[in-house]
Amino acid sequence: MRIPDTVAAQGRNTRGICGGGALLVLLFAMLLVLTGSARAQAPAGTRTILRPWRALDVRTGELRSNQAVVIEGEKIVQIGSASEVKAAAVDTTIDLPEATLLPGLIDMHTHLTMDLNSLGYSGLGISTAREALHGARNARRTLEAGFTTVRNVGANDYSDIALRDAINDGDVIGPRIVASGPALSIAGGHCDSNLLPPAFHFQAGGVADGIEAVQHKVREVIKYGADVIKVCATGGVLSKGDDPNASQFTHEEMKAIVADAHRLGRRVAAHAHGAEGVRWASEAGVDSVEHGHLMDDAAIATLKKNGTYLVPTLFLTEYMQQNMEHSEVPEFSKQKMRMVAAAAQQNVKKAFDAGVKVAFGTDAAVYPHGWNAGEFHVYVKLGMTPLAAIQTATINAADLLGWKDRVGTLEPGKWADIVAVDGDPTKDVTILEHVKFVMKGGVVYKNDYSKR
């Protein structure tokens, strides 16, 4: 074993001061660290065996009874008949006799570091550090709700990058995060910050105008850790001074953003309500359009033609209609929300009927984190079967992420991201609002069945 030069130098210095005994102590400490690391890695060879009532094949809708799922480390290694899977003495067996297993759910549009009270004037008093801590709380709630992977599309000052890294390092409990950092915006548009008076001369971190500037901004957010590029192609709802129907970036700017992002290996999610912004975003080659609530038939046809995913974020319209009037949301946002909510579901239903590809997304933060699964029943109300709605949060979302080889189905070789519910979600999708068991990467984070 070769001792790193810096450690050897420290040993020489210590010996020079305190004699050879200190060097022996140092070497012994190193040995403990190394053997400790080896012991920490040993459990990767142990197995966990899940024995549910049944498991759902999300591709076909088949509910397979008498199954056993074998997990080694963070991956599924075998799925088969429970009678054929024999547990060894060292294996951990988890019996889930009333449960239906599904792959971990995926939400493609979250804002974990934000809450509804941070989106208006009160948000001006929240520091980036505090937002990151909000994110730690919201990440745990989201994971315990059954969402083992999320795409976080827009956060101030890279707070979502810090949250992602903290989860990956084991400091914080939460889902896998594909993070964008600051969303790209034009000056004064949605995703800029328009609440402060002119004397502050303040712009949000993702603001860029002109082709060279947007190219630079794409490269900058990637430099600081962005996994995906979020761009605000139209105005929004919970923002001041912009119009949800109005396009923001020019078509040429949009094409420049997408070209740089794709060349650098990042996918692009475009916030777009208005019809022109949806068309331009899809024609520029974005991977997904978020919301699409004010689309027209031509915009829907463009999404279909180009194979652009739609991430509908519909449950928020129901939630806001029921709760907005008694909230602290500014009146300018309430007016826009009323207008958008009146059209959103009928326009998205047209997209469903046209066969536009759909991936599940919620805009969690506009309503409470952990309520993400409320989105499913809206899809079913608009004509999807429960299975098709489940597919939006599993195989479709995995495809949009570019993670089909990692998540989205219960199959050997995939990450052991697994949830369980009572009953049959292919008959009643609202069951997914009450997840009882959550495993991410082979680690159990919730098991209500053990309390029975």
β-strands 105-110, 437-440: how paired?
A: unpaired
Please give the C-alpha separations between residue 315 and each of 103, 365, 369, 382, 435, in angstroms, as whole numbers: 22, 12, 12, 12, 18
* CA distance linking residue 15 with residue 9, whole number of Å: 10
Question: Are 98 and 432 within 8 A, CB to CB?
Answer: no
Residue pair 362/328 in contact by the 8 Å Cβ criterion = no
| Beta strands 47-56 and 309-311, pairing class | unpaired
Q: Is 367 helix (H, G, I), strand (E, B) or coil?
A: coil
C-alpha distances in angstroms, 263 versus 185, 256, 288, 292?
20, 11, 17, 26
CA distances for 25 relative to 4, 10, 14, angstroms = 16, 12, 10
Unique residue bearing structure tokens 């033609």: 305
Q: Which residues are catalytic?
A: 230, 363
Q: What angle do CA 279, 288, 366 make, to 5 degrees?
A: 105
- Partner residues linked to 272 by β-bridges: 291
* DSSP-assigned letter for residue 147: E
CB 136 within 8 A of CB 451: no
Smallest CA-to-CA distance from 159 within 185, 137, 182, 141 is with 182
Which two structure tokens, joined as six digits, stand for 373?
Answer: 């699964």
As separate numbers, helices (DSSP H) first and strands (DSSP E) second, the chain gives 13, 15
88: its two tokens: 């060894």
Distances (CA, A) of 431 to 82, 145, 426: 25, 12, 9
DSSP lists the bridge partners of residue 68 as: 80
